[in-house]
Structure 1
Amino acid sequence: MVSARASDPLFSWIDTKGNIRPLVKQTAIKFINNILVSWGWRMSFGHSFRIGGVSYYLAQKVDPKIIQITG
């Protein structure tokens, strides 16, 4: 796996064929849950990441409409 460039979507990488590949939610949650369960913690379902992301961007003074549009 090769890291993506700064201009590429967040949480993406360049595959062996040179294509930009996004990390989809299902894959990310599966990876995170495997770690959490191995540590004896409960699983996450992703909602806390969405709330955390919104809080972060609001604290950075990003226009709420932009946050809403990007989901």
Structure 2
Amino acid sequence: MAPVGQRPLDLGAHISMTSGTKFIGGHGDVTLGILSVKGEDLARRVYFLQVIDKALVLHLVASSGGGALEL
């Protein structure tokens, strides 16, 4: 089922991670992922980890090349 049909944050989850490579791309020519969090405080903490700890780098924005392939 596509992520659009699921609502894990509404069902009590605090963090939801989805592979967007097949759901959005479908061709295997892009690598995408979606990380959704519940609440502004948790979003700030996740962003803080992304900036500070290089072992936990999260790519929060798709590359321009990947985005162009999906248009």
Alignment TM class, shorter chain as reference: under 0.3
The structure with the larger Rg is 1
Higher RCO (Cα < 8 Å, 6 or more apart): 2
Structure with higher helix content: 1
